[in-house]
Amino acid sequence: MEPATVNGHCAPGFAGVREAFARNFSTHGDIGAAVTVTVDGEAVVDLWGGHADAAGTRDWEHDTLVNVYSTSKGMTALCAHLLVDRGELDLDAPVARYWPEFAQAGKRELPVRWLLSHRAGLIAPRERLSVADAYDWERVCAALAAAEPWWEPGTAQGYHAVTFGYLVGEVVRRITGQSLGTFLRREITEPLGARVFIGTPAEEHARCADMVGQLDEARLDRQFPGLPKPPFTALGDHPQAVVALALMYVPTGDVNSAAYRSAEIPAGNAHASAHGLATVYGALAGGALVKPATLEEMRRSQSLPGERDLTIGALAPQGYEHRWGLGYMLNQQGQAGPNPRAFGHGGAGGSYAFADPENRLSYAYTMNKYGGGTTGHDPRNAGLVRAVYQALEPVLS
């Protein structure tokens, strides 16, 4: 395959970002990708290149969409915070106030806040679901409403890799009468002109890039040899049982299929362009979507000092900490640049997007070669973020 052509533009001073983006193809093997950076809502970097398929038959375009896995969670959380901002959702109210069936199995007083901060203990239902079940919203939500938590809610944090989207999305649906994807589109992305979909319309499927490699049980077997297979009766059955529960109990199938693209799986199947994600985060950073008090609460740590995440921590080196805001990954290790108050979310495979309100900046990177993990530490993303802030040093100093 010929070297990728880099398209788009960089503002003066941002040539280093273009160089880092080109290196992702030549050094890190990117197939197709895009990166957008906005400052004060204007795109100072808007680049794309490569191919939307492994065979190289389709060029990656400015409006190419791609599955961004858990980068979706930032969009899902934003829907909830928009309702908080409007006074329609109380984070400290019981989930059961909005979703009465959720009161089963000792969850009557479990607050909405714990859904957003991964403290609910609902990393999986108690029964393993099928791929077909994952596409049945009512089926998954009924299973979660009936489920007993895997740990005492509030006492620990554990990444709700798939269930986060159903849990938060059902609260949004009960309040608004709209699915999460519909609410996102009507209230946020369409008004902003941002190409981000959860439940991608069929007419947009031709613009979707194919993910080359994907998160499935075969990949998990290769990446984590010895990872146990469910079912489990308790987390203690194996030290990595929490990972298997969080990733396997609601299997989502082939991410390049029409069924997957059309479904609403709000924790992990947003299809977005980098420009679309950066547009949303740029509006957030600029104060256009929520009030300052809401913005501050979104990025206030919900984690205890030194606390490990039961899911992410099971795969991380000893001593690794993970701090959650309300639905967002906080910038604890510089993956979102030097501002410790920047916040966003990454996705399995390597995509990443964040807002840096203090510097009036937003950033998004999307790609279709499945690579690093969810936390923003993929070397492709790390090189781009480093180049962005190097370009900003004269302005910020």
* Residue 310 DSSP class: T
Strand partners, 65: 208
Q: How many C-beta atoms surround the C-beta of residue 86 within 10 A?
A: 13
Instruction: State residue 198 phi and psi, 5-degree precision.
Output: -120, 105
Please answer whether residues 245 and 124 qualify as being in contact, where contact means their C-beta atoms are separated by less than 8 angstroms: yes
d(CA 333, CA 281): 20
DSSP output for 47-86: EEEEBSSTTS-SB--TT-BEE-GGGHHHHHHHHHHHHHHT
Strand partners, 330: 343
d(CA 364, CA 33): 11
d(CA 114, CA 121): 9
Please answer whether residues 362 and 355 qualify as being in contact, where contact means their C-beta atoms are separated by less than 8 angstroms: yes
d(CA 392, CA 394): 6
Q: What residue ranges in the chain does DSSP mark as E strands?
A: 6-10, 32-39, 42-50, 66-67, 196-197, 271-272, 329-330, 343-346, 352-356, 361-367
* Residue 140 DSSP class: H
Residues in contact with 159: Cβ distance below 8 Å, sequence separation at least 6, in sequence order:
118, 123, 246, 309, 310, 311, 312, 322
What number of CA atoms fall less than 13 Å from residue 39's CA on the CB side?
12
> Quick check: is 70 catalytic?
yes
298 token code pair: 């979104």
Supply the Cα-derived Rg of the chain in whole angstroms. 20
| Vertex 211: Cα angle to 210 and 213 (nearest 5) | 135
H or E stretch covering 182: helix 180-184
- Catalytic residue, chosen from 26, 70, 72, 303, is 70
Give the residue numbers annotated as catalytic, written as ranges. 70
